[in-house]
């Protein structure tokens, strides 16, 4: 299950927990499509709350590849940057994935939300003259982490 918080737009905060189904993955890409249809630049903070959230359901890779092919130009045009936070025991493995190359936008993986927000501020927000309200995002994130799946 993934919960999205758009209250910090242009930052989208997504918290994923538990195993996903193909329907969950479709719902996730549907959300991305809605954000892209706004035609506004935005950044993404995606938090994987547990190891199960990192597991892709069977058949998801092909669907994701097709979606990325179709939406790639919009992603590269509108997404300012993507930060992912993974459980610390999966950090070393996950940080080696080249998300930046896959999506064509600045991207990095972190073990702590604070580090991800610092990176987003330095890499995405500051160059555009924007300020990221990190304490507010952390409070929202803490509240999302308590939402039952």
Per the structure, the complete domain to which residue 40 belongs is given by 2-145
Residue of 31, 81, 25, 79 whose CA lies nearest to 53: 25
| pLDDT over 90 (residue 43) | yes
Q: How many domains does the chain have?
A: 1
What CA–CA distance (Å, rounded) separates 11 from 113?
Answer: 13
Computed over every residue of the chain, the mean pLDDT equals: 92
| pLDDT over 50 (residue 146) | yes
User: Which pTM does this prediction carry?
Assistant: 0.91
Confidence tier at 147 by pLDDT (50, 70, 90): low
| pLDDT over 60 (residue 111) | yes
- How do residues 51-103 score in pLDDT, each as one tens digit? 999 998 998 889 999 999 999 999 999 999 999 999 999 998 888 777 778 78
């Amino acid at each position: 299950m993934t919960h999205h918080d758009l209250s910090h737009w242009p930052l989208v905060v997504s918290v994923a927990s538990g195993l996903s189904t193909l329907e969950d993955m479709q719902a996730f890409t549907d959300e991305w499509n809605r954000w892209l249809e706004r035609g506004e630049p935005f950044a993404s903070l995606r938090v994987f709350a547990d190891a199960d959230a990192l597991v892709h359901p069977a058949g998801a890779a092909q669907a994701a590849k097709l979606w990325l092919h179709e939406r790639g130009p919009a992603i590269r045009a509108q997404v300012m940057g993507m930060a992912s936070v993974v459980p610390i025991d999966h950090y070393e493995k996950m940080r080696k994935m080249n998300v930046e190359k896959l999506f064509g936008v600045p991207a990095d993986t972190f073990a702590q939300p604070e580090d991800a927000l610092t990176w987003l501020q330095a890499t995405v927000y500051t160059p555009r003259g924007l300020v990221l309200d990190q304490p507010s995002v952390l409070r929202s994130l803490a509240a999302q982490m308590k939402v039952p799946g």
